[in-house]
């Protein structure tokens, strides 16, 4: 077997036919093959996938750029005889007329707080619907902490921070979202919870108001199945932390008016985001490529690999900003396993079955950084 100085994967091979590859290319081979399959299945240009993975996962090069640099035999294994050329940003949505008015956001957690801050920073008014005054106070406190940090670092002046907070209104009354130009659902990633709240909003909002979901694990068609008013629905998937992460994935359900993608793209770019359009499939682009790759790394641990060595391999040799096991710890082992399970409901792929070490650690209460331990130990 051809390897680098040490084969830290202990013979683990996520993709058949790559047994003689060096460890770092071998570990990401499954992700590269997934990118080729996604591009062909969903009609997504290679450059869109490269753009998404650079801005959504922080990878220094997207999957097609990586494939293009491989020897011919390896390109053939991953992509067959197909073209693997990449044009950055190719086939991203054309801009329409952006939503310029007030925005409604449903949710008060970490993700919702980031989305609210991003929208308020763009100059738009935001009305946030929460379960209680306490949860809404928590959202305001998180946003204040974020803007205070930006002021301390010189990235925002005090007047600008004050203006951001002045644009944010909070409420526990569904009807207070009726004046919004678009409403974004950003509650917990539990399908039944999302669907119940979507049904409530569909009854409370004028039928012309588009309803967007920030889901990362489900289709728009899944989350918005309770909509009976005929209102426009879509995904506006921000990445955490929303004020810092540049990517916004948008997705339309089957049969949606294509003009909605242009409006959403223009709005996202007004917020300062890099926008890509994904097919309405679970995981969209980034999570569908990233999460199984993280699971491949967890399966390497099952085969005997050392977690620290795996993470060092992928940061040092692939240039990833964080090793895959450290990233699982950051996301949460339970959240990663749930994302895999959601994707597995829609696709029969053995790489989507949560790796043994993942489920074992969850069973021991080691959920990652939030619990103080996962694949690694934290203070």
Measured distance CA(359)–CA(326) in Å, rounded: 16
pTM over 0.85, yes/no: yes
- Torsion angle of alpha carbons 212, 218, 222, 223, nearest 10°? -40
Whole-number pLDDT of residue 95: 73
The 10s digit of each residue's pLDDT in 311-346 is 999 999 999 999 999 999 999 999 999 999 999 999
Whole-number pLDDT of residue 5: 47
Measured distance CA(139)–CA(274) in Å, rounded: 25
Examine the residue annotation and report whether 287 is marked as an active-site residue of this protein. yes
**List 39, 146, 214, 216, catalytic entry:** 216
Q: Percent of the chain scored above 90 by pLDDT?
A: 91
Measured distance CA(73)–CA(322) in Å, rounded: 29
The 10s digit of each residue's pLDDT in 172-209 is 999 999 999 999 999 999 999 999 999 999 999 999 99
**List 117, 181, 185, 249, catalytic entry:** 249
Q: Please, which pLDDT band fits residue 85 given cuts at 50, 70 and 90?
A: low
Residue 101's CB is within 10 A of a number of other CB atoms, namely 11
Examine the residue annotation and report whether 237 is marked as an active-site residue of this protein. yes
Pair type for strands 211-213 and 247-251: unpaired
**List 237, 277, 295, 342, catalytic entry:** 237
Give phi and psi for 54, each to the nearest 5.
-75, -40
Q: Percent of the chain scored above 70 by pLDDT?
A: 95
Question: Does residue 349 contact residue 321 with C-beta atoms inside 8 Å?
Answer: no
Examine the residue annotation and report whether 249 is marked as an active-site residue of this protein. yes
**List 146, 287, 295, 342, catalytic entry:** 287
What is the per-residue burial (b if ≥16 Cβ within 10 Å, else e) of 312-330? ebbbeebebeebbbbbbbe
Examine the residue annotation and report whether 216 is marked as an active-site residue of this protein. yes
Instruction: Sort 72 into a burial class: Cβ within 10 Å, 0-12 / 13-18 / 19+.
Output: exposed
Q: Please, which pLDDT band fits residue 96 given cuts at 50, 70 and 90?
A: confident
């Amino acid at each position: 077997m051809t390897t680098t100085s040490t084969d830290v994967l202990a013979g683990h091979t996520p993709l058949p036919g790559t047994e003689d590859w060096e460890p770092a290319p071998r570990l990401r081979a499954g992700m590269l093959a997934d990118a080729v399959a996604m591009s062909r299945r969903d009609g997504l240009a290679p450059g869109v996938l490269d753009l998404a993975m650079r801005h959504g996962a922080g990878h220094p090069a997207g999957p097609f750029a990586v494939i293009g640099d491989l020897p011919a035999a390896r390109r053939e294994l991953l992509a067959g005889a197909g073209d693997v050329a990449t044009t950055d940003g190719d086939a991203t949505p054309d801009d329409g007329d952006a939503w310029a008015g007030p925005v409604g956001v449903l949710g008060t957690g970490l993700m919702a707080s980031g989305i609210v801050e991003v929208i308020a920073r763009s100059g738009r008014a935001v009305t946030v619907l929460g379960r209680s005054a306490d949860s809404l106070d928590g959202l305001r406190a998180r946003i204040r902490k974020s803007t205070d940090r930006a002021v301390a670092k010189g990235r925002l002046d005090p007047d600008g921070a004050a203006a951001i907070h002045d644009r944010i209104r909070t409420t526990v009354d569904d009807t207070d979202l009726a004046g919004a130009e678009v409403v974004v659902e950003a509650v917990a990633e539990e399908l039944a919870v999302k669907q119940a709240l979507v049904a409530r909003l569909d009854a409370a909002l004028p039928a012309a108001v588009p309803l967007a979901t920030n889901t990362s694990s489900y289709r728009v068609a899944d989350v918005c199945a309770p909509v009976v008013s005929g209102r426009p629905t879509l995904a506006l998937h921000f990445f955490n932390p929303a004020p810092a992460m540049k990517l916004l994935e948008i997705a339309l359900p089957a049969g949606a008016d294509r003009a909605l993608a242009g409006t959403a793209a223009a709005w996202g770019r007004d917020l300062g985001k890099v926008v890509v359009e994904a097919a309405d499939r679970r995981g969209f682009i980034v999570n569908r490529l990233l999460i199984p790759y993280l699971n491949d790394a967890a399966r390497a641990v099952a085969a005997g690999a050392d977690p620290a060595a795996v993470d060092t391999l992928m940061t040092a040799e692939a240039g990833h900003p964080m090793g895959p096991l450290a990233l699982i710890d950051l996301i949460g082992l339970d959240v990663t396993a749930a994302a895999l399970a959601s994707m597995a409901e829609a696709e029969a792929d053995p790489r989507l079955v949560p790796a043994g070490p993942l489920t074992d650690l969850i069973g021991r209460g080691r959920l990652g950084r939030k619990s103080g331990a996962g694949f690694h130990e934290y203070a």
